[in-house]
Amino acid sequence: MFLIKSTARRRIITYFSLFILLLISYFLLRDSTWQGSKQLHTLMETAATILALLVGVISLIRFYTKKESIFLFVGTGFLGTSLLDAYHTIVTSTFFDMFFPSPPSHLIPWSWIASRLFLSIALLLSWINWYWEDKNKIISKNKELSIYGLSGLLVLASFLLQKTYLNVCI
């Protein structure tokens, strides 16, 4: 029998236990007829917005203390995601229904996917940057403004695509 370090063993046990718990939960809850509400959805989206904001801020703090560029991409990715999630929270909220010119059914599909798409692009760019730096053994310095600018442009493009999508649907 091979020896596994105690931290690795604990990690394996934790992952396996979580898998079993989720599998049992699936079988217990799959026939549930429970329905959520618009207010519950708004509350969950608010929590997702705050969580993305906190992860973004913590990642940027880590970047500015250690200067590892991967955390710059992750931080800006999560900050942009929090902005897009906040927009989705406002669009789907019952309180703001009367302020939008088009019905929520036209607003929700793109605003829902925008934050997920933005975060996936940011994480992909982070991986590409890491791969490039690792392959070339070059660590790029002073690229913060370009990454902030790229992230801002992607968020702005997402909002503009939302507006274009709305004009086509109306």
For 71-123, the pLDDT digits (tens) are: 999 999 999 999 999 988 888 887 777 776 655 566 677 777 888 988 999 89
- Looking at the chain, the whole-number percentage of residues with pLDDT higher than 70 is 82
pLDDT at 21 over 90: yes
Position 49 scores a pLDDT of 95
Q: Can you read off the two tokens belonging to residue 16?
A: 């396996």
pLDDT 10s digits, 46-78: 999 999 999 999 999 999 998 888 899 999 999
pLDDT-derived band at 1 (thresholds 50, 70, 90) equals very low
Q: Is the torsion defined by CA of 121, 126, 127, 133 positive or negative?
A: positive
Position 141 scores a pLDDT of 64
List helix spans (H) across the chain. 6-29, 38-66, 69-92, 104-136, 144-169
Mean local confidence (pLDDT), 117-135? 87
d(CA 38, CA 50): 18
pLDDT 10s digits, 25-53: 999 988 888 788 888 888 999 999 999 99
pLDDT, greater one: 19 or 98: 19
- Determine the Cα angle at 143 with ends 86 and 76, to 5°: 15
Mean local confidence (pLDDT), 11-34? 92
The per-residue pLDDT of the chain, averaged, comes to: 83
Q: Can you read off the two tokens belonging to residue 114?
A: 């925008």
Q: Domain residues of the chain, as ranges?
A: 37-169
Position 105 scores a pLDDT of 63
Query: What pTM was estimated for this model as a whole?
Result: 0.74
Task: Measure CA 163 to chain center.
Answer: 21
